[in-house]
Amino acid sequence: MIFEGKSLSVTLTDDSIAELVFDAQGSVNKFDRQTVEELDKATQAIASTDGVKGVLVRSAKSTFIVGADITEFTPLFEMAPEDILEWVAKTSQVFDRFEDLPVPSVVAVNGFALGGGCEMALAGDIRVVDTTAKIGLPEVKLGLMPGFGGTVRLPRLIGADNALEWMTTGRDRNGEKALKEGAVDAVVAPEKLHEAARTMLKSAIDGKLDWQNRRAQKKAPLMLNTNESMMSFSTAAAMVAAQAGKHYPAPHKMVETVSKAAGLDRDGALKLENEGFVALAKTDACKAQVGIFLADQLVKSKGKKVAKGATKEVKQHAVLGAGIMGGGIAYQGAVKGIPTVMKDINQAALDLGLKEASGILAKGMQRGKVDAKKMASTLNNIIPTLDQNAIADADLVIEAVVENPKIKAAVLADTEKTVADDAIICSNTSTISINQLAESLNKPERFCGMHFFNPVHKMPLVEIIRGEQTSDATISAVVAATLKMGKTPIVVNDCPGFLVNRVLFPYFAGFSQLLIDGADFTAVDKVMEKVFGWPMGPAFLLDVVGMDTADHASGVMSDGIPERMQKIDNDPVTLLYKAGRLGQKNGKGFYDFSLDKRGRPAKKASPEAYALFEGHVAASKDFDKEEIIARVMIPMANEAIRCLEEGIVASAAEADMALLFGLGFPPFRGGIFRYIETMGLANFVALADKYASLGPIYQISDGVREMAAAGKSYFSQSA
């Protein structure tokens, strides 16, 4: 044994090959500080051992190295820039020292080699991967760039164009694609990986593979002339500007860094990489995106933990109410192999539901993501019916009829009479109280809310709403079923609008009041899309939701939380609804919807909408972007805080993921609580107080005022 640590070890074989094996104490290998330190000690031990002819790096686990330990980033990135720079420079030098060993090295990759794992592979002279391998540099998804030599070595191996495409998108490659691009040297079957790596290493030791030249290439300047350099980097910059936009600094910094480092050797290029890494580590976007990653991990782990408690296996679904929403829910189960009865009282609705499922599959086929076999098996898993008795064997029934409490109650009561005593019954309601609906059932303990978002196949979130009498067993089974459907479950407690819609409607109310005060809805949409980063501004979103749906839901919210959500006099949404302007569903709302010359959807601000508002709103007035953002976002933030304080949602992290997955909250802002904390709680309190005279939705709770005064964080409470 040359070296033995907690995360890795080095042994010398009979033929003088040093095998460096990553085998951390946890379930996966990752680069935490301990592992980096052990890699450096192992490298030094190899360098000082007589007789070593070559180094073979591999993993003892089912995957190579998943990347750096993200949990260490949060405290690390709070340090001063010069301290972060010292850390990343010292760490990257560990990889340099490994690369500089006086003997050839081969890295054998199985499973994931991402981020730091990929950079470890790049530090070797030769890379052999098996057919399970996924290799890539996904740091951009955390608002970062590679920090352990990735921006230096990869461009010198596969060219700047390919390397920047890898890094700015963060997409990984399988072995064959990585081989084709020149990032790896061989792809073999998993059972042959170790043997193949040894064979290639022996070829390098014997001088049959020119490992010195390979290494020299990674340490030299990029081989680009002036014209090639200008074309390559200007094209990359244009692509990043078009795809990432201005809100995500990481891909821009990568292009800039690789461009500036093109004429430098490894040490000079690494210095620029280290500096770029530090600059990104201190951005709000990085803080937000790292926060999203950690919140996502928390939500996934909670979901798996709850699902483990399930005592009932769900083998068959039933969806009550077809149409677009019901068809989408039926598709989601069917595509995952779950037989799903889709029941309605109207054949036309069943036809529409099947059309929705078929349409989703057809688009998948056009994009090459669905084959004919998958399409056939999915559609065969959907059993359309008008017969109530067809749902008798369902383990999980999802009611998705019209958003009317009396109709839903009647459907739920009939369902309970039809299904087995241990069947679970759910309501896909967006606002109606689960406790109220539970009154129609004899066994309310097997009932909960299961709120899908439209379009179902695209939106990752399902809100699982626990009623007062819902059992833990029911929640566990529904969470497990949601995960099986490929969705992200977040459990919340019952209240008007639950979590997502409860925080959305104060946002809409703030928007409506802005219009009443003279704002132009197109100007508000432009600010909220281009400046704040929402995929749709509030007017466009209301058109997508539908004015009838929005007006109905605002009535439910008003009845449920009258102290803050009373209906607004002269609400533009209500004016549009009463005028029959329902939004996208009938082609007219705030905007008029049509198709352009190429047949693509198009919208333009409607003169009829402006005419409708005249006499009900103040004279046209310009508002600066900061005021527009404050007046729509403060109400949303306030209501999210109240949901956390009231225990509707268990943690700030879960609230952030719910809004990210359910509403498309801008990822570079990290979620509603990350947005508040990035602003600073004291600054948020001051801003809300500035607008407090506008009404209760702008008035903060005592809890947030106390937290701001005490310097506390909502994320220290996340669990």
Exposed (0-12), middle (13-18) or buried (19+): which is 600, by Cβ within 10 Å?
Answer: exposed
Report the alpha-carbon distance of residue 105 to residue 10 in Å, rounded. 13
Give the chain's length: 719
- Contacts with 289 (C-beta within 8 Å, 6 or more apart), sequence order: 141, 142, 143, 144, 667, 668, 670
How do strand 105-109 and strand 112-114 relate by DSSP bridges?
unpaired
CA dihedral 178, 181, 185, 191 (to 10 degrees): 30
Q: Other C-beta atoms within 10 Å of 502: how many?
A: 24
Cα distances from 281 to residues 143, 170, 244, 290, in angstroms, run 8, 17, 18, 10
Report the alpha-carbon distance of residue 342 to residue 468 in Å, rounded. 29
- Phi/psi for 115 (5° steps) reads 55, -120
Residues with catalytic function: 451
Q: Where are the alpha helices (DSSP H) in 367-471?
A: 372-380, 405-418, 434-438
Q: Which of 646, 626, 648 is nearest to 704 (CA)?
A: 646
Q: Which of 294, 352, 312 is nearest to 475 (CA)?
A: 312
- Contacts with 715 (C-beta within 8 Å, 6 or more apart), sequence order: 291, 652, 653, 673, 674, 677
Sheet holding 134-136, edge to edge: 112-114, 134-136, 173-174
Exposed (0-12), middle (13-18) or buried (19+): which is 380, by Cβ within 10 Å?
Answer: exposed
- Which residues face 448 on adjacent strands? 426
